[in-house]
Homo-oligomer: A and B are copies of this chain.
Amino acid sequence: MKVLSQNQAFGGMQGVYAHDSSATNCQMTFAVFVPPKAVEEPCPVLWYLSGLTCTHANVMEKGEYRRMAAELGLIVVCPDTSPRGDDVADVLTNWQMGKGAGFYLDATEKPWSDHYRMYTYITEELPALVGEHFRVDMSRQGIFGHSMGGHGAMTIALKHPDRFKSCSAFAPIVAPSTADWSAPAFEKYLGSDKAAWRQYDACALVEDGARFPEFLIDQGKADQFLENGLRPWLFEEAAKDTGIGVTLRMHERYDHSYYFISTFMDDHLKWHAERLA
């Protein structure tokens, strides 16, 4: 693992690291914030998955999570959103496909399957690396994310209810397999058999029996992607009568940007800290 940068912040340390990933078969970059409390004892770890077009850097620079994470004693890990590098397949003219748009799935179709294995990267390889190098208490993990990363967080929590004690999302895409916004990417990554798409779709997972105790979802009403991409009400419907708790908060005037995310970041960090205590 290479250290790309380390900066003191809020009494803790914001670092950026790179490593050769076997899951994605390329060099991957990720950010880790370590709160001051980690000097004394292992701390809970919170995974933040970013949205389309982002790298690890967007939330690190604009997410405003460090003050509260330092106060609550949370380690925050922010991975990249796709494999990277010159030999990684891409569609330069489509921001919803290819680099920056890994959708946290393991692609099965060529050429995507050579590198686009973000599900394995996020759920297996990166946790092992983080567990080895940082003072984390892996018995206390939470996961959250934004947009495509909200989709990633919710699907991963639903598939690993024993590993994660908490999950939340900012403006998640809750049913990517049926949204105009994401279905074309799913077809290229996973092929035309839509049965294979359901494991990466929060609504379909719930329909197929997956369970997680509760979700916090914040959504701006002025979000330009609300109707054709995100549709959080579909998850509320899917969760009805399943025992899954859904706290969906709709916010007037807020859009899809980090101005929205940073506004509600403290609420999410507290939500997780309460469940990771």
- How far is A128 from B8 in the complex, measured between Cα atoms in Å? 38
- How far is A53 from B33 in the complex, measured between Cα atoms in Å? 26
- How far is A9 from B222 in the complex, measured between Cα atoms in Å? 12
Of A60-68, A109-117, A174-182, A237-245, the one with at least 4 CB within 8 A of chain B = A60-68
Q: CB distance A14 to B259 under 8 Å?
A: yes
Q: CB distance A10 to B61 under 8 Å?
A: no
0 or 1 for each of A1-39: is its CB under 8 Å from B? (1 = yes):
000000111110010000000000000000000000000
Q: CB distance A8 to B66 under 8 Å?
A: no
Contact count band on A: 20 to 34
- Which one of A8, A61, A64 has the greatest number of beta carbons of chain B within 10 Å? A8
Q: A8-B254, A220-B8 are in contact. Are A64 and B67 (CB under 8 A)?
A: yes
- How far is A89 from B222 in the complex, measured between Cα atoms in Å? 41
Q: A61-B61, A62-B61 are in contact. Are A7 and B67 (CB under 8 A)?
A: no
Q: Which of B9, B62, B222, B266 contacts A8 (CB 8 A)?
A: B222
Q: Does A133 contact B (CB under 8 A)?
A: no
Q: Does A255 contact B (CB under 8 A)?
A: yes
- How far is A255 from B5 in the complex, measured between Cα atoms in Å? 12
0 or 1 for each of A237-277: is its CB under 8 Å from B? (1 = yes):
00000000000000001110111101100100000000000
User: A258 to chain B: which residues have CB within 8 Å?
Assistant: 61
Chain B proximity of A185: nearest CB distance (Å): 27
Chain B proximity of A58: nearest CB distance (Å): 10
Q: Which of B8, B61, B257, B259 contacts A260 (CB 8 A)?
A: B8
- How far is A82 from B257 in the complex, measured between Cα atoms in Å? 27
Q: List 17 A-B contacts (CB under 8 A).
A: A7-B255, A7-B257, A8-B220, A8-B222, A8-B253, A8-B254, A8-B255, A8-B259, A9-B259, A9-B260, A61-B61, A61-B62, A61-B258, A62-B62, A64-B262, A67-B262, A67-B263
CB-CB nearest 6 A-B residue pairs: A7-B259, A9-B259, A8-B253, A8-B254, A64-B64, A10-B263
